[in-house]
Structure formats: structure tokens, C-alpha cells
Structure 1
């Protein structure tokens, strides 16, 4: 523990030199984006319009960030985002919660911290600095990156547990995907707390005037930017602009997290045009953030990726013998006629006949395809129609993406993540910020400094995610866990008082008709049978 404290002190001492506290912070994550993906997008933009020589984020590049899991050099979105939010390394699948030790750990993991929640910089800014907090993203809201801002769990796929925590963690603005994942119970709770909830309602979203609002679109994730119906879905740039407009009403300032979620998804599918169009969409959101920050003069914008993906390269084995002779036309022309992503084409083709496949590929991508390619796409399509699971959908989309891969000089080494350091770009009004190669925990320390939390994140964690057995050690208290209809409840009583808390919820019941609310939700960890609660609840027994 002394070693951990010393490391934390050193991080904050080193990073305190980088300027001042800011009223507002906009933290932007280009999920799964490598520098090669940015370079490809830059060349693509220039090929279509020679006046477009830069991305919006280009003037603000200042370094790189070393990200990885606690037990592997190649990181997953959950542990890498957790590093940015909490300063702690973790394993695949963990959100805002410490992992158990693993034989492959790259550094010491304290077994006493296993499955313990860790407070995030966004939670801390809300509680300690009274800042408004908001999220804008294009995946479903309980997905790894947005979930890591305000949820704490050991299995990122358990959306119901994660969604409950996010709903009960007092986020002021939530814009993104996942309308079907906001349960009726959670919708009712938000309404009781005077939130405005917009589900698949673009008009209502655009009419929002005040914070305390959730606007979700699509059953799960939003469509890719290139496939987006502009009459049904907002762009990431529009959601970013709207979130800033609403959060900026808060006099103490705000922290907004913006994620270009589906860059990563397109990379997994080796879909070059999908990656380009999603990076373009993210860069437009960056432009919105920078425009606001420059006018405001008290806003910090931090733009970063969380890990690489796909090993994308400009140049592949098709050009091994003449790579230095490839013109910009050779590299970009195969991509330039695409009007849909591979995922968009896959969705469009699902209800159509086999005969439609070459017609649609010609119309939307400008490509003639062979009979063997048609047969491979049709086989994958039929498999998905018979059994529409994630694996079959990925295989189906991959077959379509392969058509472009085999006709372009854009290379890929994998369908998975890659372990290179990721880019860092920062706009700060005073020009003082980290430079060079830093680690993800160091970036967390910088965010804590910039938001005014400084070195208090661990202290706040002890205050708001305290083991209930540490808080009620006296023998006069009885602590009981009750399971009812798959839900977990914590009952604490002594001779004078009794309270009941529901897992992943910030409500405290006292008696039959009294309901109170804590700053953070109570966390019941099924792996250990332990509860973590806010120390506020001790006041109910005074």
C-alpha cells in the first residue's frame, strides 16, 4: 500500500506542473484508432478535396499514450478506458473495478483490491467539485467506454447491472445508442428525478433546453455515419454540440466524455471505408469541441485513442513489388465510390435475394464481384438469417468487407486489437499540458489535476465505495443480504433504525414511506458477496 501511495504522489507531483484547473473538460476517445487510420482518413479527404489537408485535431497533437491491460500488452476497451477514468490497470471485461491477480500480470496487483470498485474522475468531479457530467457516443450506452465513466462491474457484457448503475449515478446528459436497453423501471426512475427521456425521437432531442436528459437512438448502437438516416439519427458532432450547450448552463462547469465508438467496430471488420467515415464523424465532433473551447477560454479538450485495432496500413502485399510507384489514385480510388459501409450493406441485403448481391455491390461500391464472392456472401447471409447471433453477423459482414480488401492497397494484419502506443492531442488555453510518451494512469492524473480533484481520487473512493463491513463494525448492527426475484438488497439494522438498499441503485429506504438518495449507487459484488456503499448511510443511524 505504501508503494501505491508513493507512486500516486509522484504522478501528481510530476503532472501538477502542467497548467491550471479548468472549469470545463471535454475528454474525447477515438475507440480503436491508430495513427495509420488517421493518416488514411487525411489522404482520403485530400483525394476528394485538395483543400482538406488537415484533420480538426491535427494542430493539437502533443504525444502518445502507452495503454495496456494489467495482464497483457494488448488492451481491451474496458481496461484501457478504466485507466483513463480511475488511474488503475485492469483486465479485459472489468469496468471501474479492480481485477484479481493473474499469473501474467505486468505489474503487482494487490489481491486485497480484487473486485473492489474504483471511483472515476467523472464521479469525483460531480461530487467533489459540483460539476455537471455528460456522455455522447455512438455505441449502446452500457458499452465499455461510456459505462466506464460511472459504472463498476467485472463483466462488461452484463448490460442490466451496468445500466442500473449509470441511471442511478446522476449523469446530467446522456446522448447515444441503446434505446431498447433503458428498462421501463429505469425510465420511470429518471422521470421521477425530473429527467427528460427521448427514445428514438430526433425532434424532441433537438428541442431540449435544459440538462437532466437522456436521448437514446436505435435498439443498440447507432448506425455508422455513412449509413445514417439523417431524419432519424443525430450525428456525433450534433450530439457533442447539444451536450456542450446544455452542460454549459451549469455554473460550476462540466466534464463531457465523447466517444467515436464505431471506429473500433469497423476496424474489427477490416472495413476501410467504415473506419474512414467514422473517423471523419469523430473529427467533426472534435471540431465542435475545439470551437467551443476557443471561444470559452476556460475549457480543456483532451483527444486520445484507447488502443489500436486491425493493424491497418496504407499499402499491403498486393503492392509488394511496386509500393513506391502506387499513386494517390491507386490507393484511394477503390474507396472513393463507397456510399455505404460493409455493415450497412450487410443490413441492406438481409431481406433481398441472392441475385441482388452483385447489383447492390456495383451500385453502392462501384465494384464488379465474382460468382465465388457472391456465393460466399450468400452462404454467410443465410447463416445469419437462420441464426442471427453476433458471430454469424460478423462473418457475414467480413465476407462483404473482403470484397474491398481484395481490390485495394489498404492492408490489415488482424481482426483484433493491436498493442501500439496511441495518439494524444490536447487543446489547452494556456498551452501547458503533457508532451511526449506518457502512460494512461499519468493521463488520469492530469485529468484529476485539471478538474480540481488533484490527489483526492483514492480518498473519495474510500468515502463513496466503502466496504459495508468496515462502515458497520460494531456488534450492535446486523447486516443482511436478501435476494428476491433475482435482485439483491442490503438490509442494515440496529435496535433503533433500519435501512434497505438495492444493489446498483442509489436509493435508501428508511421505514415504509421514506426514500433518500446517496451520491453513488450501492455495489453488490456477486463474486465475493461483498457490498460497497457510500459512508453517507451511516448518518441514518445517528
Structure 2
């Protein structure tokens, strides 16, 4: 079903799930399936997922797409063990992704900003190295750079999470079996400051290098995999969906040249104005990059026949980036893309019978949620009209645009109309009259201003633009899930994985 079409009677579907707490804590798995030893582990992290993100993604999926998410169905069908998890780091009740991943990876809480390195320089062996030493294959896939904090926390030691060029070299030295995501700038000699050709290094070590989505169909099963599909992170999921509309509208040159001089012409190509020219660019990038589910499926297929089993980390990294930008459309659609990867993993685990699937987040971020009001349902459902991320929309506005152009663009992409005052305020950022900072706002876009404008129309609010210290959802399916207690610390998962596989 089209993601922008409302299902009939959607207003009846907006309540919270009618499930008792006791039902949610129960597990529909058999005692045998829960207690068996896991041969494989798939550890899934929706980075920066507050509980409101999980709730709103399911609400959107039910109201607009007509179905619950896979994650919520696991609860509804009592198929999983469930817990709350404390995500603090050694230096703060609010963790960053490096310390959070290190808690899982090294089993010890470290300070924010470092990867598996203690306060006195102790180097805690990351869990994927432990599993490789025991003969299992190991890999990571992510929607951000493969050298980013979350995959790195399972794999290496580093005193600086931002040492991504060096982390790319560490991966090759250790020899992980599947690594897929973004980050061409850390492997490409033309983009690295030291001019090292990391692609050549990986090929010399027996890796097949994948660069496009199509490459996933031509994987050599006898080689390890390095898949790097973009400079920086991969595109947001909702921007992929919006590209078809951009492709269907002509440019000014197209309209000028393709005219039959013997006929009068009426050409209507869009509701409102045609897209800005800058937004036609980058379509090939959107088409050539795989989804998280694509990469997850390819990774599982590549690893599944190894006689000693495998461990795989899967990260929906841009959920966190969307929360930092207070971007509800990006947030929901990347959470849904993560959920598709969850389905891929659980479907495999169900057939395999020997795979423990861990589904969680590393921390909350911005704590978004729906706001009470008479029009809350209709307002929230209007997000179905949002064609692109706020990053994409705001990048398309420039200082020389007039107010009407901005108002037309916002209506075209979000289906609501700015007031003149809102348009003036928005334009002020591009004319240097105002500024806005933020961890992932390197382009200095007016994310907060725009999300505040959107809030009037979609009834979604945010507490901040940064991480939060709240307890988070933790779910397990498969052998070893019986080990999960109702409340855990993030470091507990390190030993749980070792116990579940019989290595502790």
C-alpha cells in the first residue's frame, strides 16, 4: 500500500496496544527453544531509539500502512523475552554511542567518546573478536559509516571514536567476514588524507568489494565482504521513496525543447510548483544504495552455512541522526526500515532454530512523542504526506529564494502552508540573520525551527536535540532468551551472549 494513503477508519486505530503488562512479559517460545544453546547471534540496534520512536513507528504503520510492525507483533504474539535496560556510561547517566556499544562489546562501562578502553588505558577485548577467536564468523552492517561508533564498539579498541580512518585499517587487520555500510572516505585513496588505498588492502586480504545495491546479487561466497555504498552515511529511507516523484517531473530545459509547434500546449506536471533543480541531483545515489534489510539478508546468506556459526551486528544508525535533527519523517521511516531488517533476522532465526536475535537500542534520543489535542490523530496521520526528510527539504532552500518559493516548496513536500511570518523566520537562517547548532547539524540548517513549525501540524513534540538517559526496550528471540532478566544493565548483554553460545 502507498505509504501516503490513509487506510479507511484510521482514527479507530490510534490507541495504544491493548495488552496487559503480564502478557508482554510472557514469552510464546517453547521452553526448549528458549533454553537451547545458540549457534548464531544477530544483534540488532536501532541507534538512538526512544520508546516514543518505537511507538510512533508502529502507530504510523498501523494507521497508514494497515499493519503492525514486526517488533510489535513479536510482543502481540508473545514470541519474545522482554526487558528494560539501563544505558549509562562510566562518565554519565547519558551515554554516547561509543560508550554504549563498548558496554555491549567489551562488557565494561567506559567513558563517553572511547571504544573499549578503560580510564587507565585497559583494553577490553571486543566480543566479536572473542567469537572470531572461537571459530565463528563475524560481521556488521549499518546505515551509517561502517567505521562509526556502534559497529566499532563490537570490533576494536580505540581511544577516539572519531579515528575512523584508523578503524578502517583495524578491521582489515583483524579480518572480519562481512562489513557493510557507508564511509567511502575512509577507504578511498583519493579521499583519505594519507592517500592509502584501503580497498586494495582489503582485496589483497581476500575481500570482495561491493559498491552498489546490484553487487549484492553477485557475491562470491568464497570471499569475505567489504561493502561501502556511499561517502558518509547511506541516504534516509524516506528520501528513497520520494525520488520517483522527482524523476517524473521535467526540467525547464526539457519543457523548452520538447514542444510540438503545431499544437497548443497544456503541461501540468505537479501539485504546486515543480521541484527545485538541486533536488533532482543525487537520484542515482539513492537508487544504488541498498536498504538495511537488503544488507542484512545478504550478510545472513553469506554467513549462515559456516559450521561453527556466526555473529552479526545490524545497526539502524540514522534513526539517531533523525532524532538529533528532530525530523519526524526521517525518524519514522528509518525506524520502519530497521523493522524490515528485524523481520529478515527473525524469519531466518525461526527457520534456523539455532539463532539468538537481540533487538534493542543503545540509548534514547530527543524523546519524541505525540501531543494531546482534538486533532492529534489527523495531525499525526498527516505525516504520510511528508515526501522527504527535513534535511532534504531545508537543503533545497537558499538565501536568494523569495517567500512564495519557500511556501510553495513546503506545501509541495509537507502539504501544509507556512504563514508569511514563518517563511520570513525560515529565510532568516539562510540570509545569515540567525543560526542553529547541533551535534549532527554540520550544515547549520534550521532543524529546530522547522520541527517547531511542523509540530503545529503533526502534533509531535521533542524534549531536546540530543541523547537521553531513559531506560530502553530490549527484546530477545531464540535459544538463550531465557537468560534475559526483566531489568538489566547494558554491560550484562556481553556475558549473556557468551552464556547463550556456551562460551562463558
Task: Kindly indicate whether residue 362 of structure 2 is the aligned counterpart of residue 299 of structure 1.
Answer: no
Structure 2 CA distance for aligned equivalents of residues 87 and 233 of structure 1: 33
For the residues of structure 2 that align with 1:415 and 1:50, how far apart are their CA atoms?
30
Could you tell me which residue of structure 2 aligns to residue 41 of structure 1?
57
CA distance in 1, matches of 2:96, 2:436: 27
User: Which range is displaced more, 45-54 or 139-148?
Assistant: 45-54
Q: Which residue of 2 aligns with 1:418?
A: 468
What's 2:381 paired with? 333
| Post-superposition CA distance 1:352-374 (Å, at most 9, x none) | 84554222211111011123333
1:209 paired with 2:220, answer: yes
Q: Deviations over 1:137-191 (max 9, x none)?
A: 0011121101112221122122222222122221111111112221433211111
Of the candidates 370, 394, 400, which is equivalent to residue 346 of structure 1?
394
- RCO greater where, 1 or 2, for CA within 8 Å and sep 6 or more? 2
Instruction: After TM superposition, give the deviation of residue 194 of structure 1 in Å.
Output: 1.4
Match for residue 371 of structure 1? Answer: 420
Structure 1 unaligned regions, length at least 5: 1-17, 101-113, 455-542
Check conservation: 1:294, 1:429, Cα contact below 8 A. Answer: no
Change in 2 beyond 3 A, CA 1:436/1:173: same
In the TM superposition, what are the counterparts of 1:137-286 in structure 2 within 5 Å? 137-184=142-189, 185-199=197-211, 201-210=212-221, 211-228=223-240, 231-286=287-342
Q: Describe the SS at the equivalent of 2:48.
A: coil
Summarize the Cα distance change of 1:162–1:220 in structure 2 as closer, same or farther, 3 Å threshold. Answer: same
2:90 to 48, 51, 70: 70
Please name the residue that 1:95 is paired with. Answer: 115
Alignment counterpart, residue 311 of structure 1, candidates 363, 367, 374? 367
Q: Name the stretch that deviates more: 155-164 or 264-273.
A: 155-164
Q: Retained in 2: the 8 A contact 1:266–1:272?
A: yes
Q: 2:487 aligns with which of 437, 459, 465?
A: 437
Q: 2:453 aligns with which of 392, 403, 410?
A: 403
1:422 deviates by 0.8
Write the deviation string for residues 460-515 of structure 1: whole angstroms up to 9, x where unpaired: xxxxxxxxxxxxxxxxxxxxxxxxxxxxxxxxxxxxxxxxxxxxxxxxxxxxxxxx
CA distance in structure 2 between the aligned counterparts of 1:303 and 1:390, rounded to whole angstroms: 25
425-434 vs 87-96, which deviates more? 425-434
Bigger strand fraction: 1
Aligned to 1:478: none
Structure 2 unpaired stretches of 5+? 1-33, 190-196, 241-282
* CA distance in 1 between partners of 2:288 and 2:446 (Å): 26
1:108-146 residue CA offsets vs partner (Å, 9 max, x unmatched): xxxxxx12321111110001x211111110011121101
TM-score, normalised via structure 2 length: 0.76
Give, in whole Å, the separation in 2 of the partners of 1:403 and 1:377. Answer: 10
Q: Equivalences for 1:73-84 in 2 at 5 Å?
A: 73-84=93-104
Residues 1:31 and 1:391: Cα distance change in structure 2 (over 3 Å) = closer
User: Residues 229 and 289 of structure 2 are in contact (CA less than 8 Å); yes or no, is this contact kept in structure 1?
Assistant: yes
- Partners in 2 of 1:340 and 1:423 — Cα distance? 28
Give the aligned CA root-mean-square deviation in angstroms.
Answer: 2.6
User: SS of the counterpart of 2:446?
Assistant: helix
Once residues 350 and 166 of structure 1 are traced to their aligned partners in structure 2, the CA distance between those partners, rounded to angstroms, is 40
- In structure 2, the residue corresponding to 1:424 is in which secondary structure? strand
| Contact 1:56–1:286, Cα closer than 8 Å, also in 2 | no
CA distance in 1, matches of 2:300, 2:92: 36
Distance of aligned partners of 1:397 and 1:430 in 2 relative to their CA distance in 1, 3 Å threshold: closer
- Alpha-carbon offset, residue 311 of structure 1: 1.9
Relative to 1, partners in 2 of residues 1:302 and 1:430: Cα closer, same or farther, differing over 3 Å?
closer
**Match of 2:49, SS?**
coil
Q: Call closer, same or farther: CA 1:297–1:144 in 2, change over 3 Å.
A: same
Residue matched to 2:498 = 448
Number of residue-to-residue matches in the alignment: 413
Q: Rate the CA distance shift 1:387–1:304 in 2: closer, same or farther, 3 A.
A: closer
